[in-house]
Structure 1
Amino acid sequence: MSAPSPDRTAPSLLRRLVTAAATALAALAATLAVPAPAHAAGGAFYGVYASVYGTRDYHGYVPSSYRPGTPMPLLVALHGCTENDIGFDLLSGWSRVAEQRGFIVVFPDQSNLVNPATCWNWYLETNQHRGWGEPAIIAGITNRIRSQYTVDSRRVYTTGVSAGGVMTNIMAVAYPDIFAATSVMAGCEYDCDVLQLQSAQESGRKALAEMGSRARPVPAIVFQGTADLVVPPSTAYRIAGQWAVVDGIDATADTVQTGQVPGGRSYTHLTYRDTAGTALIEQYMIDGAGHAYPGGCACSLYGDPSGPDASNLSWDFFLAHPKP
């Protein structure tokens, strides 16, 4: 995971081949693409995005409050392993929240042809950098929706759970010019070190290097179950530590509060602020929760309705953090 960025190591011949292939496939991509119609009222949409890096389906939802010409926020939501875009929509309730709170949401779908478990391939070097692999595909889907609807460019956000949580963290690092803020659920820090031999500070430095001239403070909200057997709970602190380096703030939480979902789980809420007192990082450690979506639908194997409502909490956080 610590190999140099492809931008620094890819041979010039490979770059020429990729460029030539991209040019040759541009027309094919346009032919394969099934764009979503520009709804004037609420409804679901579906599409296919194709590029030199592959083809992915996606679906999304436009709320009934949408009016062409009036900018509306956009959320890009990434599912976890053994899920798909439709299942993640049911699990998270994001389309329902989009209708209630007035934003567009799109769900890119991983192909089981490139990963039999439908995990995003975050662990591959080419999928950790801007303009390459799956990040390029997800960014392409995002920009397609931005071109088809009137999207508020200062309020484009990304969220994901598990493998989707790792990838959403990568997207916020690789494309800080697109995504205003991110929500990571049971994910991992940038340049994810599953053995935790690399410090969160080193991860943050690598994130800054990836951002390059686009580097800026990116607000992040993190959710993690304390009984997660897939993702070590300490990973949440590593994600917060990574973003603390990027955001230029202390990696020690300024406030630590406890909370309780009525009839459900207790949790610890940590907040990390800048010198002006702005909460740039929030972290929820959910007592006794496993590898599940906090507040997610009981209709899904991965839903934990007894946890805090991660979808609405994320949207509250997003609303407080438009892109400067």
Structure 2
Amino acid sequence: MLNQDIIREATRLTRAGQLVEATALLQRMLGGDSAPDTPSRSGSGIALTGREPLIIDAKANRIEETDNHPQLEPATSQPRRLWALLDRKKGRSGIGLPGVIKRAPLSTPDIVPEGARFIESMYSSPAGSRAYRLFIPSRYQERPLPLVVMLHGCNQSPDDFAAGTRMNFIAEEQDCFVVYPAQPSQANQAKCWNWFRTADQQRGRGEPSLIAGITRQIMDDYLVDRKRVYVGGLSAGAAAAAVMGATYNDLYAAIGIHSGLACGVATDLPSALVAMRQGGPNHKVIFDDRPSVPTIVFHGDRDTTVHPGNGGQILEQSVRAVSTQKTVYSGQVPGGHAYTRTILSDASGRGMLEHWNIHGAGHAWSGGSPAGSYTDPRGPDATREMLRFFLQHSLPDE
């Protein structure tokens, strides 16, 4: 079979509910093997390698010198073991970092600075409902403050993501609200945002409408600077942030994408898997007539879960309407990662797009705290740089 034939067949199998068979076809294609006409079936599941597929424990987070496989993204409502099948053939860590071990439960000092608040609330609409956690800085005195929406990755929670990124601590310094919507397992088995589904890539529908609804609910309930509202995320959450930038550019002044994918590179599970492993195709651009949203991208060049080429595609999608000048810097975190920082500026010299290519880093939040999951403390500090970029931008006057 040609690759396009395999993708079409995998799509048909997915729509028929035969996700294991679809995964088997894609695994063989990505590994360069010829695809069988019918994957073998055994008992309660598929044993592609002659033994029971690996079940991933995704609650691990502290970096140790092992070679486990802590996270696989994205996932549908099917069990996470399906995602292990694609990575077994690769024979290396999908996170691009050493393996992990379990940690103790999070404590409040890991999540929120003293004197600030971190409250839980709920948003409901005809599209559904989502819980969320809202960080309120200690110096909030009924004056408008910027708002940052943070979308967690698969198998994460708002508390976990807050602890790992330490966004609340940087937001405390800068006087910002931060909200963390929670994706429940009922919506996705591995708590991934469903960035790859067509129904969840449209304004006013599905998960984009829920995330925008949470944003607006906070804007109504608190004094928020409505011209300085931002959205960022990690992995599946980063891909969802890209969707939000494409569908609600009148709501968000800038977006931050860490280890994610551009909006429109996938419309179903098979195309999502291909984009993750190989980079997306020459993707369609959604809403060509809408101006680009300022974007900052972080991606490790040893990411084996989401191909590093996806970072460049995000910039390609964002830069389509911007006349830019390009500046490239190189740097090194003392005792940590080297990086290449590319800035694309508009005609006035304002940085509209930034791409941080982090050398030797894998699929983890750069500069994050080991108190949370999927973090790489060796930097650079993506949280501080992301918020710095956000606060340089605001929505134009109407």
TM-score (norm 2): 0.66
Query: Residues 70-123 of structure 1: CA distance to partner in whole angstroms, max 9, x if unpaired?
Result: 210000000000111111011111111111210000000001011010000111
Counting helix residues as a fraction of each chain, which structure ranks higher? 1
Q: 2:310 aligns with which of 226, 235, 244?
A: 235
Listed as ranges, the matches of 1:117-128 within 5 Å are: 117-128=190-201
What corresponds to 1:188 in structure 2? 261
Q: What secondary structure does 1:207 align onto?
A: coil
**One of 264, 281, 293 as aligned partner of 1:198:** 281
Which stretches of structure 1, 4 residues or more, deviate above 6 A after TM superposition? none
Cα deviation for residue 197 of structure 1 reads 5.8
Give 2:356's aligned residue. Answer: 284
Task: Give the aligned CA root-mean-square deviation in angstroms.
Answer: 1.5
CA distance in 1, matches of 2:147, 2:279: 33
Tell me by how many angstroms 1:274 deviates. Answer: 1.6
Partner of 1:169, secondary structure, is helix
What is the alpha-carbon distance in structure 2 between the residues aligned to residue 299 and residue 73 of structure 1? 26
Q: Which region of structure 1 is more displaced relative to structure 2, 163-172 or 49-58?
A: 49-58
Deviation at 1:275? 2.1
**C-alpha separation between the residues in 2 aligned to 1:101 and 1:319?**
9
Q: Which residue of 2 aligns with 1:12?
A: none
> Aligned equivalents of 2:176 and 2:137: distance in 1?
6
CA distance in 2, matches of 1:130, 1:197: 22
Aligned residues: 272
Q: For 1:257 and 1:103, locate their aligned partners in 2 and report how far apart those are by CA, in whole Å.
A: 28
Partners in 2 of 1:296 and 1:174 — Cα distance? 29
CA shift digits 1:210-258 (9 cap, x unpaired) = xx5xx2231100000000001111111100100001x3235xx711111
2:119 is the alignment partner of 1:48: no
| Separation (CA, whole Å) in 1 of partners of 2:156 and 2:309 | 24
Equivalent residues of 2:227, 2:253 under 8 A apart? yes
Letter of the 2:305 counterpart: V
What amino acid does structure 2 have at the position aligned with 1:119?
C
Structure 2 partner of 1:33: none
1:271 and 2:271 matched: no
Change (3 A) 1:197 1:166: closer
Whether 1:317 and 2:392 are equivalent positions in the alignment is no
Partner-residue secondary structure (3-state), 1:46: strand
SS in 2 for 1:76: strand
Q: Percent identity?
A: 37
Match of 2:173 in 1: 100
99-108 vs 268-277, which moves further: 268-277
1:301 is displaced (CA, Å) by 3.5
Matched, 1:159 2:244: no
Q: How does 1:1-324 map onto structure 2 within 5 Å?
A: 42-68=116-142, 70-193=143-266, 194=275, 196=279, 198-199=281-282, 202-203=283-284, 206-209=285-288, 212=289, 215-245=290-320, 247-250=321-324, 254-324=326-396
Give, as a single letter, the amino acid of the residue that structure 2 aligns with 1:63: P
Q: CA shift at 1:196, angstroms?
A: 4.3
Q: Which runs of 5+ in 2 are unaligned?
A: 1-114, 267-274
Structure 1 unaligned regions, length at least 5: 1-40
Q: Deviations over 1:138-182 (max 9, x none)?
A: 011000100111000110000100000000010011111110000
CA deviation vs aligned residue, 1:37-69 (integer Å, no higher than 9, x gap): xxxx8311111111221121100111011111x
